[in-house]
Amino acid sequence: MKKWTLLFVLAFTVNVAAQAVKSGEKFVYSAAYNMSGLLTPLAQVKMETETVKTSKNTLLHLSCEATTFSKWDSFFKIRDTYESYVNPATFKPSLYKRDIFEGKYTKKEKYLFKGNVITSTVKKKNAPETTKKFSIGANTNDVVTILYQLRNVDFSKFKTGQTKTFTVVFDEKQMNVSAKYMGKETVKAGNLGSKECYKISIAAKTDKLKGTDKNLIWLTADARKVPALIKFSIPVGTGQLTLTNASGI
């Protein structure tokens, strides 16, 4: 009986946790880069979810896509895609892909998750394709999945300054990423209007993110937890992603 109760609680917890993310969501952002103190719109970022069926399973396809606005294409064309196929109930990834096209730089990365082993294939421009097998922790996920898992965290129970740690695999390395709850703030959320949001600070021991509390995400303080605003600080500068349109929620 205890086992069944535990199973029920676990199943219920997973179900509640997974409710924030739905299949058929589409969030469109305007990505702006800070140039001499002025935010200059550079690209459109799309985050979409879709149900994908294989012969045995039903998976959730999570994708993030960055495309430069047409006026920038002749100067610096970006066509980046980050995607992950996850179990819709547990958010455990099966496949993660990263396809980078930034100006003259290209990189393709594919991770196949089998249990706690990842088979990675990486192809950089002017370099031969490399394949590697490495082990990861039981709770390690890719970056796309982590972004969506963040929405499944119940921040309403968090106290200001409280953190939640995730383990992420990026560039074939595992690292801890912490999400610190910084309270509530009202921000503009595109077609959703002004929304009260959970302000979350993202930190990781990596040279890819700069500064303390400079990488921030505002998630709407409702059941959907839509990322309304994202501010980033990376080695090449700072910028932000502003939600322009949210549909399918």
Partner 1 sequence: MRKVYNILAVLFLLVSIVFAVLPMGTLAVLPVALALIFSGLAFFISEADAKKFPKILLILSVILLVVVLAKAMMPDEVATDTEFEQKKIESKNEDLKDLEELEGLE
Site for partner 1 in 53-92 (CB under 8 A): 54-57, 59, 67-73, 75, 79, 81, 83, 85
Site for partner 1 in 181-240 (CB under 8 A): none
Closest CA to 241 of 23, 98, 24, 39: 39
- Alpha carbon distance 33, 110 (integer Å): 28
Q: Which is nearer to partner 1, 82 or 198 (CB)?
A: 82
Site for partner 1 in 105-134 (CB under 8 A): 110, 112-114
Number of residues that bind partner 1 (CB under 8 A): 33
CB of 114 to partner 1, least distance (A): 6
Q: Map residue 188 onto helix, strand or coil.
A: strand
- Are 187 and 218 in contact by the 8 Å Cβ rule? The answer is yes
Q: How many CB atoms lie under 10 A from the CB of residue 15?
A: 10
Q: Which stretch of DSSP H or E encloses residue 160?
A: none
- Are 64 and 46 in contact by the 8 Å Cβ rule? The answer is yes
Residue 5 within binding range of partner 1, rule CB under 8 A: no
Residue 138 within binding range of partner 1, rule CB under 8 A: no
Q: Which stretch binds partner 1 (CB under 8 A): 11-19, 35-43, 164-172, 212-220?
A: 35-43
Please spell the DSSP secondary structure of 20-34, one letter per residue: TS-TT-EEEEEEEEE
Binding site for partner 1 (CB under 8 A): 30, 35-36, 38, 40-41, 44, 52, 54-57, 59, 67-73, 75, 79, 81, 83, 85, 94-95, 97, 99, 110, 112-114
